[in-house]
A and B are shown apart, each in its own frame.
Chain A
Amino acid sequence: MDATVAPIRGEITEIVGGLSSGRTSHLLACLGEVVARGETAALVDTEEIFDPASAAEAGIDLRRLLWIRCAGNRDVALRAADMLVRCPGFALVALDLGERVPRLPTTAAFRLKFAVRRTDVALLIVGRRRLTGSSAALAVETLREGIEWAGPGPAPTRLARVRTTTRILRARQAASPRQASSWWSA
């Protein structure tokens, strides 16, 4: 996991980016980091995009992951995330809002922030654009930088790896470094 994308306990972290920018890979890396410590994580999956095979290949112990599928209903996803962050004991609650991020009233974002602080849960929100505004302690943007292909002949037969960059959009505490790159194996 990048040093720039480290969800903070008791705070809201946001990862924003376009399709194929690497935000979901960062999400899986965060989940893997948590469950590798023996802690429990939850994923609220708005558009049912989570791929258990990718997660298993990333080394995630799926037994410690609670997966909630919301069938595209964003209101339901927000309510599910709200319930989960009020339940003490989860180390990380991830909310994947997908491509169409709804508008969240400022008061709702503040309520979410205080609920997260009270239970000391790390809330990680992934989407096309930011959701919680100034309530987030950390917001990073992911960008794709390059692609490498693999194959025995001149025509590639398989995607080899993808390079992404993360850039900090907002950090309540001074973060170092402000930008980092990662390679992700396919």
Chain B
Amino acid sequence: MERVSRFACVLVEHFDAAAIERCEPALRERPLAVVNPQVDRLDVGRHAAPRGAQTTSVMTTIEANAAAREHGVRPGMTETEARARCPMLSTRPRVEEYAASAHHALLEAALAVSPRIEDGGAGLAYVDTAGLERLIGDPAAIGRRLVHQVRAIGLIPRVGLAASRTAARMAAVNGPGPVTIVPPGRERATLAKIPLTTLALAPDLAATLGRWGVRTLGELAALPREGLAARLGPPGLRAHDLALGVDRDPFRPWTPPPFWEEAQGLDWEIDSLGILAGVLETVLERLCRRLAAVSLVADSLEVRLGLASGGHHARDVALAYPMSEVKPMLTLAVLDLEAHPPPAAVTRVAISAHPIRTQAGQGGLWQPPAPAPRDLVTVLARLAALVGADNLGSPVLLDSHRADAFAMLAFSPPSDHHAAPVRSGTSAGGASGRRLALRRTRPARRVEVETIGERPVRVEARLVVASAGPWRASGEWWDLQAWAREEWDVVLGDGALCRLARDRLAGHWYLDGFYD
């Protein structure tokens, strides 16, 4: 049995408008025209251009969505003409970042269905569906899966499936519904009635064929191939191949770039973090939808802000755990920008993520409840903003006999329920611990102490009722930071039970803390 190679074409019509609608969903139901404000035109009317004539900037429509086209708005019209045809028309300038992000997202959505896809240009992707029948189902199911994936990233596609990419594209463009399937062997018959204008041929070639009376792909396919080659050369042969639905170009597989990025250009400058958070949320939503569409999560984020001063402000936002939720990502990004604000107003926002694939896990049945990673990372970030990152974490004792020797580590409770190694001389478990706690004074406060012999009798004019000591210790005498001290436990006249320490090298007394 001969294996029939099949392709799907995923097409997003009026792509520049669709890319803007993806960023501003409220525009989806309204007439929208994408204009290019950078077209300069000589303002000369019907007369010859006088010497030194001034050029004026004309807003030219370069794309219109379906609602605008219903009112007669077409690419190439001036904005004035377009508004005359459709008074309710909304216009937006073309933003390169929008189109690039949307096209990238389209390719990634297609990649989630098949590992072999080809970049067909703006708003166009070809998918090799060979072998997907066993995984997904019949061609209709493959088409529906593609539509679902692309809709998930905020674009509305049309999908055609056929034996060749050209036939699939023609089916996508001219099909009656979102998914059009060309049965095997019916390519030529299906394409026969499609107008020649669908091929977007070069103007001179289209004009020649028009003069010959060729109006449809079927009429072009019926022409003798040798005659076309003799009269029109390679462009004519290529047009003939397209009309037959034959692919002559090799399939060029597309692979995703090493990082994922979403960006948003701004028409205005933002100098408030509150407003910037709204833009960040929009960009993160798009990025997270892309990640979710292919079952990936972000391991880290890079926020790059274009500044009005011409510079850039870049921040790496570490995520405590791989995530794809917008809210904790936004909280972390905003808190980081609060701590490290951009030096000038922001004109462009770009966020890239380092994606990884994770496997879902399940906690043990007898595992005690713990804060969910999403909640924990958010509350830790808020606490770090409140008290400072240095004042937050888990203490770890250092391998030293020096008083109050500890370091702070980032809080990361172990997931397993194994007890920590217990120091010698301690009792594991709080129930049987019953150890007297010391309330430390930090830093250890220097105090004036009166002594009789070496025993303290008065601490800063407070009478010592009882005392015990000295308890001598020393260390690091082999190093520059040598220390030696003697400790006294004393009860003061007001009932306070405290620990005093005398620095034997300097002779000073310190209040270590109170037993409590």
Contacts and interface: CB of A to CB of B under 8 A. Distances in A.
Interface stretch (B91-99, B117-125, B163-171, B415-423): B415-423
Interface string A8-40: 000000000011111111011111111111111
A156 B468 contact: yes
Q: How large is the interface on B (under 10, 10 to 19, 20 to 34, 35 or more residues)?
A: 35 or more
B495 A18 contact: yes
Interface string B80-105: 00000000000000000000000000
Contacts of A52: 395-397, 406
A131 interface: no
Given A90-B371, A156-B468, A182 B435 contact: no
Given A20-B514, A158-B469, A40 B431 contact: no
Contact of A58 (B420, B426, B471, B498): B426
A100 to B, nearest CB: 14
B369 A89 contact: yes
Interface in A34-69: 34-40, 48-69
Q: How large is the interface on A (under 10, 10 to 19, 20 to 34, 35 or more residues)?
A: 35 or more
A176 interface: no
A182 B468 CA distance: 22
Among B382, B438, B439, B496, residue most surrounded by chain A Cβ atoms (within 10 Å): B439
A71 B387 contact: yes
A69 B391 contact: yes
A61 to B, nearest CB: 4
Interface in B360-402: 367-372, 375-376, 378-379, 382-383, 386-387, 391-397
Given A19-B514, A70-B387, A36 B379 contact: no
- Provide the main secondary structure of the chain B interface: mixed
Contacts of A66: 392-394, 411
Interface stretch (A107-115, A132-140, A143-151, A166-174): A143-151
A39 B435 CA distance: 21
Interface of A: 1, 18-25, 27-40, 48-71, 76, 79-80, 83-84, 86-91, 144, 147, 149-151, 155-159, 161-162, 182-186
5 contacts: A36-B428, A58-B435, A59-B429, A88-B372, A186-B489
Interface of B: 367-372, 375-376, 378-379, 382-383, 386-387, 391-397, 404, 406, 408, 411-414, 417, 419-420, 422-423, 425-442, 455, 466-471, 489, 491, 495-498, 513-516
By Cβ-Cβ distance, the 7 closest A-B pairs, closest first, are A32-B430, A89-B371, A38-B417, A24-B516, A156-B468, A159-B489, A61-B420
